Structure 1
Amino acid sequence: CRPGFFKASPHSQSCSKCPPHSYTNEEASTSCVCEKDYFRRESDPPTMACTRPPSAPRNAISNVNETSVFLEWIPPADTGGRKDVSYYIACKKCISHAGVCEECGGQVRYLPRQIGLKNTSVMMVDLLAHTNYTFEIEAVNGVSSLSPGIRQYVSVNVTTNQAAPSPVTIVKKGKIAKNSISLSWQEPDRPNGIILEYEIKYFEKDQETSYTIIKSKETTITAEGLKPASVYVFQIRARTAAGYGVFSRRFEFETTPVFAASSDESQIPIIAVSVTVGVILLAVVIGFLLSGSCCECGCGRASSLCAVAHPSLIWRCGYSKAKQDPEEEKMHFHNGHIKLPGVRTYIDPHTYEDPNQAVHEFAKEIEASCITIERVIGAGEFGEVCSGRLKLPGKRELPVAIKTLKVGYTEKQRRDFLGEASIMGQFDHPNIIHLEGVVTKSKPVMIVTEYMENGSLDTFLKKNDGQFTVIQLVGMLRGIAAGMKYLSDMGYVHRDLAARNILINSNLVCKVSDFGLSRVLEDDPEAAYTTRGGKIPIRWTAPEAIAFRKFTSASDVWSYGIVMWEVVSYGERPYWEMTNQDVIKAVEEGYRLPSPMDCPAALYQLMLDCWQKDRNSRPKFEEIVNMLDKLIRNPSSLKTLVNASSRVSNLLSDHGPLGSGAYRSVGEWLEAIKMGRYTELFMENGYSSMDAVAQVTLEDLRRLGVTLVGHQKKIMNSLQEMKVQLINGMVPL
């Protein structure tokens, strides 16, 4: 064979040309040499082209859910000429202030795997809370190991959120008696935040249906009232603001048996105790006789003596929990579970006679000198909203948002302004806006919160129309639902849940905000709720809240369904330009918002569940969070979209197609929505009347050649708006 050709075997009939990216400069070659930066595996046949490692994966995005991260990416543009492409995930844990990163180690789990991934997504679990991570996604193929070149990867930086603590693993027994067992334990390896309390569950072995729970803020407890010579099983779990961790494994301890005391020495402690008790009782009686009317004159120095002599006066003198350990609460369960309060109960600050007391109880006072105001970012009802920095002694500097109270305020305005801080200060959850503190002892009066870089969710979505994957949108919705579950568990009803009242940070973490509104139903023409912050549009409000002022967590669930619609439609206005009265009428008649364009069927069904007329039929926020978690864990369940032809409510079938009353011609309609360039296209393809246009689907638009997503949305939304108006009799048939 001449140069440029080869014969792999003497039995070959003819010479073969060197395959792509290979060559030979010699005659009678049995194989060809690969070009520079191209390689051939030993198992590759000589007739196969030389190949190279793939380029880096593209457009990697992340979704953070507490201490798990879901990564998704697009395959590399250049596969190197091979089909055996797989992916490898490198994980690094970074210390932000030092700029130092280290390997994550074996505690991180990868689902389905870290090496040899064939699909373009992976989930990392068991990460640390409040930690910066860098994930490097590298594409590899059969010749990657042969290349000495630089690794080709795409990196993603994320910060994990707060999460429930890991299990308690080390429990030690202390003093054990015939009727009690003392225990101590170590804090979980990964507390993932500040441990608020521990929950200790124990029961007699083989009697699991009848158990006792003790709550303690310390890492030691004593279980009392136990049976002698009996084995008891103990399990412990910790709670942070993010909720309870899982229970520890079972630890078994046995009480001592009963022994009868026989020696005289054994009686000495009993005699000593008896004498002591006698002396105390004698002192109490003498003290009572000397103090005369101590109980009549209130809670003076002799109150404790009064309490002994007159137990009924204990409550009057403020001894509401005599002999009760403030650090420890005990609950008993028998043949069933009683729901324990996992979080504190919300306290309405308006129940305080002095609103200043509520502010100081729930909000930390900050020295004005610790705050640096940098720029004005907006205007609130009470004054300017600024961004700035907060530097507290001994702590690192934080970016913050600062609401200020304008000069010349009245006492009522000050009270209303600080009322939001009294509410916000009671909440501690990664999906609720965090209150840093207030400034009330100097002017201007300020409320200081964490800074959310991307601002309000509705504005952010409009600016980034179509820029996120479905998984990212579901991650945003999951965060909002988790925050609302927390509020619901605390007994707080938000009443004004809307995308404009959700803030979003640079990691796409959504946080519920706006807790400072008063809500009074007034007889205005649009039947809107008037608040100190303006009118709350009816379109976010549940029917029973409009009709009967019945605000509950169930009405918040209705509002959450509207927020879902806003998120999936990238900030569209619910019910478009319909008036509030028309919205009330349509909803009362059973009309519900149609599915947004390209909406997964599972998400739209959840929206419809939230919009059940019977509020008892709506899902709870806990169920919503669980459902969204399942969708995130199984992304393929989001691939089924709502059929474009069924996006319109079935109520349309009762009214027939659009008539000519909306627009006199197709051209007039397209010109009105600034899409006149497509008039000729519609006419040429048989859409010459508005009746015909009414049946257009998204697939039809694509077939016609309307390829720009923004134009597709504008046309479909216009058609949808006309159909909604038709339902409400706004367009003549």
Structure 2
Amino acid sequence: MACTRPPSAPRNAISNVNETSVFLEWIPPADTGGRKDVSYYIACKKCNSHAGVCDECGGHVRYLPRQIGLKNTSVMMVDLLAHTNYTFEIEAVNGVSDLSPGARQYVSVNVTTNQAAPSPVTNVKKGKIAKNSISLSWQEPDRPNGIILEYEIKYFEKDQETSYTIIKSKETTITAEGLKPASVYVFQIRARTAAGYGVFSRRFEFETIPVSVAASSDQSQIPIIAVSVTVGVILLAVVIGFLLSGRRCGYSKAKQDPEEEKMHFHNGHIKLPGVRTYIDPHTYEDPNQAVHEFAKEIEASCITIERVIGAGEFGEVCSGRLKLPGKRELPVAIKTLKVGYTEKQRRDFLGEASIMGQFDHPNIIHLEGVVTKSKPVMIVTEYMENGSLDTFLKKNDGQFTVIQLVGMLRGIAAGMKYLSDMGYVHRDLAARNILINSNLVCKVSDFGLSRVLEDDPEAAYTTRGGKIPIRWTAPEAIAFRKFTSASDVWSYGIVMWEVVSYGERPYWEMTNQDVIKAVEEGYRLPSPMDCPAALYQLMLDCWQKERNSRPKFDEIVSMLDKLIRNPSSLKTLVNASSRVSNLLAEHGSLGSGAYRSVGEWLEAIKMGRYTEIFMENGYSSMDAVAQVTLEDLRRLGVTLVGHQKKIMNSLQEMKVQLVNGMVPL
């Protein structure tokens, strides 16, 4: 037998980061060493970018399905630390790898995890227990993944789960009062950071003491109580005297327990402590007050503008650097307000900062601050290297795996869930308003534009930034101006379609009026090419006419998480080409008036090289071309995926000009 050898390194490793989980995928090695027993080993290293040192990850990281002896070419690492740099080394091994004196052959991937919700609270202890109350204490979660803002404690009488009470606390202790004597209560606790709530802890059961035990305990306390009452009467007299003297001075002050949760008002809005709610800056009498409340003022000297990267409604958009005292330098995007602005333009410009400054989530564009005390007036945000999502996808058509696309969609959905929980309705969710960074993390942007529906039959929304096409907008928002989180869900379904089709324009060249008519009649966008059936079904769910039938954003995040954890569920594709062919046949020809010949059509879409092949195989008219399927293209020798997509999309585009290209819901 021929000698065998260790395999070469795996190839083309790619990563997809989802909060504190990382999904890795790669191609098998080019050389298997002449053996069939190839498996993979994953080495995980946690790296300190400042010190340049990497350490082993340790036992807290979980590998799905396993770390050693992995047979398939993908793996997921979970329970990583938030905001941490990791290096993963993927090594291919076979039966003789341990015998080789040579160096390890591996491919490495560097990633940075995102902000994440805290891990569950695991250690809860009971404190003082009385007939009507139970005191508890607990330890901070093992992985807080940030600063714990508060804890939420849910409790209910055992077997009465539908009737529960929620307490919020900034401390790791609480006392639940108003309980029944001699009753068992179930407690669950979860922590919240800026990234949101973690999952609830396991159930902890504690029992209040019976009335008889409490009464006997009370009897033994009578002498102490008598003394306490006497002292209390004296103190009460002193306090009353103090209060009366205070009133003579013209004021009285009520003492409040700082830890006690009270409903309070903020600029005319009721706010519940511990529950962040979006506040519309337009409700402020002085808009400047909103800016200074929600956005940090930055000294202009801390900002270095490097180059112009675009034009905004109010002025230029630049990239640059921000260096705050005591902090490291950051790359930033800078929106500037053009010279000669009116006071109204200044208010409108800074209104977006007043909104953005209220949000803190890894999938929402982060506001660094504003410059209002010098000119030019600026809004400074984090810099997103890859720009807008629609442009980025068009530039990289067909370059990502399905899992990577689902990861992008999951990030957008997580950001929208956060906004929905805050009570903010975006109204203009579209791929052009999603920004993407170098780690393929998507962040929702473009806040604060006022939108008024015009009387124009084309029905585009007018904003201070121009017209927004209604092809992203839910029917009830078009007809009745009813904007809700449910209408944002409809828009999210359109964004899903944009992502899977790599930045195609929804409804192609149909007019807004035709889109409104078609959607009202129950037609929906067809599945993009090579779209997993599970994703297309989720799109159709988002496009339910009855808004209450659409999924909520937390349900969408949960569905996408399940798909990411089970990549095999994404392998079933929608047979889009067959459906296109059938619909074309059902609705007649494409209309020979669009192109005079097959050659003219192919030249128009820059596919003229295939004209001779089409003609030789009998596709000499546009009516004949209408019946072409993806299998036909492969048979004709159109093997490049990009060329297949271009031809099939062109056929779809011509078809939907007749409002025949959408799927009836």
TM-score by length of 1: 0.81
Whether 1:60 and 2:22 are equivalent positions in the alignment is no
Matches within 5 A, 1:358-373: 358-373=290-305
Cα distance, 1:681 vs structure 2: 0.8
Larger radius of gyration: 1
> Does structure 2 retain, via aligned residues, the 8 Å contact 1:54–1:139?
yes
Change over 3 Å in CA distance of 1:671–1:274 after alignment to 2: same
Map Cα deviations across residues 359-399 of structure 1 (whole Å, 9 max, x no partner).
22222223333333332222211122222223333433322
Q: Is the 8 A contact 2:284 2:290 kept in 1?
A: yes
Q: Which shifted more, 277-286 or 352-361? A: 277-286
C-alpha distance after superposition, 1:227-271 (max 9, x if no partner): 667765543221112222233345556667777999999889878
Query: 1:128-147 maps to which residues of 2 (within 5 A)?
Result: 128-147=81-100
What is the distance in 2 between the residues matched to 1:425 and 1:569? 33
Q: CA RMSD in A?
A: 4.9
- Deviation sequence 1:569-622 (CA, Å, 0-9, x none): 111111222222222233233332222222222222222222222222222222
CA distance 1:524–1:212, change in 2 (3 Å): closer
- Relative distance call for 1:492 and 1:277 in structure 2 (3 A) is farther
Q: Which residue of 2 aligns with 1:85?
A: 38
Higher relative contact order, structure no. (Cα contacts within 8 Å, ≥ 6 residues apart) = 2
Q: Does the 8 A contact of 2:525 with 2:662 survive in 1?
A: no
1:387-426 C-alpha deviation (Å, 9 max, x unpaired): 2223333433322222222222221111111111111122
Q: 1:505 to 1:317 in 2, by over 3 A?
A: farther
Rate the CA distance shift 1:320–1:405 in 2: closer, same or farther, 3 A.
farther
Whether the 8 Å CA contact 1:661–1:731 is kept in 2: the answer is no
Q: CA deviation at 1:442?
A: 2.7
Which segment drifts farther, 434-443 or 629-638? Answer: 434-443
* Runs of 5+ consecutive residues of structure 2 not aligned to the other structure: none
Rounded to whole Å, the distance in 2 between the matches of 1:723 and 1:412 is 46
CA 1:283–1:373 in structure 2 vs 1: closer, same or farther (change >3 Å)? farther
Instruction: After TM superposition, list the pairs within 5 Å mapping 1:98-117 onto structure 2.
Output: 98-117=51-70
Post-superposition Cα deviations, 1:437-479, rounded to whole Å, max 9, x if no partner, equal 2222333222221111111101111111111111101110111
Q: Structure 1's 680 and 405: CA in aligned 2 closer, same or farther, altered over 3 A?
A: same
Range with greater deviation from structure 2 (322-331 or 377-386): 322-331
Of residues 708-717 and 569-578 in structure 1, the stretch that sits farther from structure 2 once superposed is: 708-717
Partner Cα distance (1:605, 1:355) in 2: 44
Q: In structure 2, what is the Cα distance between the partners aligned to 1:178 and 1:729? A: 69
Q: Is the CA contact 1:651–1:727 (under 8 Å) kept in the aligned structure 2?
A: no
Task: Say whether the 8 Å CA contact 1:195–1:240 is kept in structure 2.
Answer: yes
Find the aligned partners of 1:332 and 1:449 in 2 and give their Cα distance.
31
Shift of 1:116: 0.7
SS for the counterpart of 1:203 is strand
Alignment partners' CA distance in 2, 1:705 and 1:436: 53
Please give the secondary structure, in 2, of the residue aligned with 1:63. Answer: strand
Q: 1:625 to 1:227 in 2, by over 3 A?
A: closer
Superposed displacement of residue 527, structure 1? 2.1
1:284 is displaced (CA, Å) by 9.4
Q: Deviations over 1:137-157 (max 9, x none)?
A: 111111111111111111111
Q: Offset at 1:629? A: 1.3
Rate the CA distance shift 1:170–1:397 in 2: closer, same or farther, 3 A. Answer: farther
Whether the aligned pair in 2 keeps the contact of 1:162 and 1:242 (CA below 8 Å) is yes
Residue 541 of structure 1 and its aligned partner are, at CA, apart by: 1.4
CA contact (8 A) 1:209 1:334 kept: no
CA 1:69–1:337 in 2, change beyond 3 Å: closer, same or farther? farther
Q: TM-score, normalised by structure 2?
A: 0.89
Describe the shift of the 1:614–1:339 C-alpha distance in structure 2 as closer, same or farther (beyond 3 A).
farther
Instruction: Measure, in 1, the Cα distance between the counterparts of 2:554 and 2:522.
Output: 26
Cα gap change, 1:482 to 1:321, in 2 (>3 Å): farther
Residue 189 of structure 1, CA deviation: 1.7
Q: 1:319/1:391 Cα in 2 relative to 1: closer, same or farther (>3 Å)? A: farther
Gap runs ≥5 in structure 1: 1-47, 293-315
Please report how far the alpha carbon of residue 503 of structure 1 lies from its aligned counterpart in structure 2 after TM superposition: 0.4
Contact 1:87–1:137 at 8 Å: present in 2 too? yes
Does the C-alpha gap of structure 1 residues 638 and 341 become closer, same or farther in structure 2, counting only changes over 3 Å? farther
Question: Post-superposition shift, 1:272?
Answer: 8.0
Counterpart secondary structure, 1:437: strand
CA-CA distance at 1:646 after TM superposition: 3.2
- Distance in 1 separating the partners of 2:127 and 2:478: 59
Is residue 659–residue 732 contact of structure 1 (8 Å, CA) maintained in 2? no
Alignment of 1:196-345 (within 5 A): 196-203=149-156, 211-226=164-179, 233-251=186-204, 325-329=257-261, 343-345=275-277
CA contact (8 A) 2:7 2:31 kept: yes
Aligned equivalents of 1:580 and 1:263: distance in 2? 77
Q: Indicate the SS of the match to 1:454.
A: coil
SS of the equivalent of 1:648 reads helix
Quote the Cα distance in structure 2 between the aligned partners of 1:317 and 1:176. 44
Q: Measured at CA, do residues 583 and 256 of structure 1 come closer, stay the same or move farther in structure 2, by a change above 3 Å? A: closer
> 1:215, 1:135 → 2: CA distance?
39
Offset, 1:345: 2.1
Deviation of residue 480 (structure 1)?
0.7
Residue 533 of structure 2 is aligned with which of 588, 598, 601? 601
Contact 2:265–2:271 (8 Å) recurs in 1: no
Deviation at 1:635, TM superposition (A): 1.1
CA contact (8 A) 1:88 1:115 kept: yes
Is the 2:126–2:135 Cα contact (8 Å) retained in structure 1? yes
> Which secondary structure does the structure 2 equivalent of 1:418 belong to?
helix
Tell me by how many angstroms 1:728 deviates.
Answer: 6.7
Structure 1 residues 606 and 233: CA distance shift in structure 2, 3 A: closer
Distance 1:483 1:268, change over 3 A: same
Distance change in 2, residues 1:495/1:651 (3 Å): farther
- The 3-state SS of whatever aligns with 1:229 is coil
The change in CA–CA distance for 1:482 and 1:649 in structure 2 (over 3 A counts) is farther
Asked if 2 retains the 8 angstrom alpha-carbon contact of 1:582 and 1:728, the reply is no
Per the TM alignment, residue 487 of structure 1 is displaced from its structure 2 partner at its CA by 1.3
Residues 402, 716 of structure 1: CA spacing in aligned structure 2 closer, same or farther, 3 A cutoff?
A: same
- Larger mean Cα displacement after TM superposition, 264-273 or 169-178: 264-273
Q: 1:404 to 1:222 in 2, by over 3 A?
A: same
Contact 1:93 1:133 in 2 (8 A): yes
